[in-house]
Amino acid sequence: MAQSKLWTKAPTWVVYSLGFLPAAYLVYGVVTNSLGPDPIAVLENNLGEHALQFLLLGLAITPLMRFAKINLVKYRRAIGLIAFFYVVLHLLVYTLLDRQLDLNAIIGDIWKRPYITIGMSAFLLLVPLAITSNNFSIRKLGAATWNKLHKIVYAAVILGALHYMLLTKTWQLEPIIYFTLAVLLVASRKFYPKRKKQTRQNPQTSKTQTA
């Protein structure tokens, strides 16, 4: 498949480094005490939002390849693992700093509060994906099974975005945008152009050729 060389030139560690920058910025905010009067909420909200951003980015890789012929598959594992890193930090801030390890409160939250039930489900769905994000697992599971397993991310992203939408007091633009993007990216999988043996710039000619 034809692809722009420019996109694949950067080594993966560049993606990891860029991915950790927002976390470093938050750590800087904590150290300099510049996150405002409610730093816990700032950490929680920003970490959660970054998790969603990277999940959406990871979900955009295949559509980009199919619709725009830009192949970034090389970076997808890094993006997915960075997303999981933010999910874990988000969860740690909630359990350790916000709820201060009050297990009764945490279990009560998971049991009684739909947005937390949903968020926690999304996290649990992501755990097997993070664990199997390595070459060894792909070999062990076989590419087909591995691919099937990793389709779970569709559910996780939609639940994650729903989790965000349900926690605000009113309808707000940002969570709606995230949710819409999640739904669109998942739905786009149904509309991939059919793969041809030979890709041509002009789909009309390629059609007549394969016909």
Q: Residue numbers of the site for another protein (CB under 8 A)?
A: 25-26, 29-30, 33-43, 46, 97-98, 100, 105, 108-109, 112-115, 166-173
Alpha helices, H only, the chain: 5-8, 12-31, 39-68, 76-92, 103-112, 114-131, 135-141, 143-149, 152-165, 173-187, 203-210
Closer by beta carbon to another protein, 26 or else 81: 26
Closer by beta carbon to another protein, 170 or else 202: 170
Instruction: Look at residues 125, 51, 39, 61 and name the one whose alpha carbon lies nearest to residue 85.
Output: 51
- Minimum Å gap between C-beta 170 and another protein is 5
Closer by beta carbon to another protein, 138 or else 176: 176
Let me know: does 64 contact 191? Beta carbons within 8 Å. no
- Minimum Å gap between C-beta 117 and another protein is 11
Closer by beta carbon to another protein, 112 or else 197: 112
- Minimum Å gap between C-beta 51 and another protein is 16
| One-letter identity of residue 208 | T
- The position carrying tokens 């420019």 is 6
Instruction: Look at residues 175, 156, 173 and name the one whose alpha carbon lies nearest to residue 165.
Output: 175
- Minimum Å gap between C-beta 92 and another protein is 12
